[in-house]
Amino acid sequence: MPNNSFGNDYDHNATIRFFKKWWKLLMWVFLAALAVSLLVSLLITPRYKASAILFPTNSNRLSKAIMDYHYSLDFMDYGVERDCEYCIQILSSESMERDVCRRFNLLEHYGINPNDPHKLFKLHEQYRGNVNVKRTEFLGVEVSVLDVDPQWAADMANFIAANYDTVCHRIHHARAENAADIMQGVCDRLGQEIKDLQDSLRRNPQYQLGLTQLINEKCHELADLQTRAAQTQVDVNENVSYKFLLDEAIAPDKKAYPKRAIIVALGTLGAVVMCILALLCMDALKPKEEEQ
C-alpha cells in the first residue's frame, strides 16, 4: 500500500540547519534592532492624557420646566441616548474647535507657522489627533486630551467640558431670540386687532353680541401667546447649564504615549522577521542561480 501523507512532510531538520547557519547574523540583527528601537522610543516626546467626564441634561426648555405645570419631564433629569449623541456632536463641532484653538492659542502651541498657507488644515489635523470625544458605557461623555504638557492637557479638557454650556446657549439663544421676535410681532398684531374690534363695538353697538364674542376669543388667544412669549423670553435671558460634570480633568503624573515596551518589542520582532524572510528568499534563489 502506498504511504499517503498530507501536510506531514515538513523537514524540521531544515529549520534547525537554517538557524545553525544564520544564528550569529540573526543575533546581531536582534541586538541592533533592539538598540535602534530603544533609541527611537526615547527620542519620541512623551504625551500625557487628561480626561473629563460629563452627563448631558435632558434637552428640555428651562421655561417649560419652571413655568408649565403640565410639563411631565424634569429639567434636572439626566439625558437619554439622544441627548448623549447631541452632546458628542456639539463637543466635536467646528464651533467648539474654534473656541478651544482661540482660547489656548493652539497655532503657536503646536508650533505651526502662522504664514503657512495650510495652517488651518494642519491645526485641524493636530487638534483632531489630540482631542477625543466618546460615549461612556452609561450614557456619559468623556473628553480626552493628549498633550506634551500634563497641566495643559487637563486645562483643555476642562475648558471643552465647560464650553459645552456656552456653545449650547449660543445655539438656543439665537433660536429663542428669533421665536421671541416672531411672537412679539404676532402679539402686537393681535393687540391691534382687539383695539379695532373695540372701536367697532363702540361705533356699532347693535353688533354687541358677535363683536364681544370675537373680542373675547382674541383676548384669550393673546393671553396664551403672551404666556408662550414669556416662556421664550426666559430661554433668551437665562444662561443655564446643559450638563452635569462628573469628573474634572486633573494633570496626569504618568505619560500615556509612547508605550516604549511595545515600540521596542514590535520594532525588534519586525526586524528579525524581515531578516529571516530575506535569508529564506536568498536560500531559495541560490539553487536556481547555480543551475544557470
Show the 3-state SS of the chain. Answer: CCCCCCCCCCCHHHHHHHHHHHHHHHHHHHHHHHHHHHHHHHHCCCEEEEEEEEEEECCCCHHHHHHCCCCCCCCCCECCHHHHHHHHHHHCCHHHHHHHHHHHCHHHHCCCCCCCCCHHHHHHHHHHHHEEEEECCCCCEEEEEEECCHHHHHHHHHHHHHHHHHHHHHHHHHHHHHHHHHHHHHHHHHHHHHHHHHHHHHHCHHHHHHHHHHHHHHHHHHHHHHHHHHHHHHHHHCCCCCEEEEECCCCCCCCCECCHHHHHHHHHHHHHHHHHHHHHHHHHHHHHHHHC
Mean pLDDT of the chain: 80
Phi, psi of 96 (to 5 degrees): -65, -45
Q: What is the CA radius of gyration of the chain?
A: 35
Cell of residue 272, nine digits: 528579525
Residue 65 counted as domain residue:
yes
Q: Are residues 272 and 130 in the same domain?
A: no
Amino acid identity for residue 72 in this structure:
S
My answer on whether 121 and 154 are in the same domain is yes
Q: Do 66 and 185 fall within a single domain?
A: yes
Closest CA to 244 of 56, 81, 90: 56
Mean local confidence (pLDDT), 235-244? 72
- pLDDT tens-digit map of 102-138: 999 999 999 999 899 999 999 999 999 999 999 988 8
Does residue 3 lie within any of the structural domains?
no
Res 8 pLDDT > 60? no
Residues 36, 117 within the same domain: no
Total number of domains in the chain: 2
Q: Does the pLDDT value for residue 259 go beyond 70? A: yes
191 and 247 housed in the same domain = yes
Asked if residue 142 and residue 272 are part of one domain, the reply reads: no
The verdict on residue 287 lying in a domain is: no
Structural domain that includes position 264: 22-41+258-279
Whole-angstrom distance, CA of residue 68 vs CA of residue 45:
56
Give residue 235's pLDDT band: very low, low, confident or very high (50, 70, 90): low
Say if 77 falls within a structural domain: yes
For residue 120, what pLDDT is reported? 93
φ and ψ at 50, to 5 degrees? -120, 140
What average pLDDT does range 232-258 have in this prediction? 78
Dist CA 46 CA 225 (whole Å): 60
Predicted confidence band of residue 6 (pLDDT cuts 50, 70, 90): very low
Residue 17 lies in a domain: no
- Separation in Å, CA 253 to CA 51, 85, 246, 247, 250: 13, 31, 21, 17, 9
CATH number reported for the structural domain that contains residue 51 in this entry: 3.30.1890
pLDDT tier at 70 (50, 70, 90 boundaries)? very low
pLDDT at 72: 47
Going by C-beta distance under 8 Å and a sequence separation of 6 or more, which residues neighbour residue 264? 34, 37, 38, 41
Q: Does pLDDT of 65 surpass 60?
A: no
For residue 6, being part of any structural domain is answered with no
Q: In terms of domains, do 213 and 164 share one?
A: yes
Is residue 194 domain-resident? yes
Reply yes or no on whether the pLDDT at 268 is more than 70: yes
**In terms of domains, do 186 and 264 share one?**
no
Q: 121 and 263 in one domain?
A: no
Same structural domain, 146 and 119: yes
Q: Are 148 and 48 in contact, with CB atoms under 8 Å apart?
A: yes
Q: Is residue 262 part of a domain?
A: yes
Tell me which of 98-102, 127-131, 156-160, 272-276 is least confident. Answer: 272-276
Domain check: are 80 and 136 in the same one?
Answer: yes
For the ranges 123-127, 138-142, 189-193, the lowest mean pLDDT is seen at 189-193
Which of the pair, 267 or 63, is modelled with greater confidence? 267
Residues 169 and 106 in one domain: yes
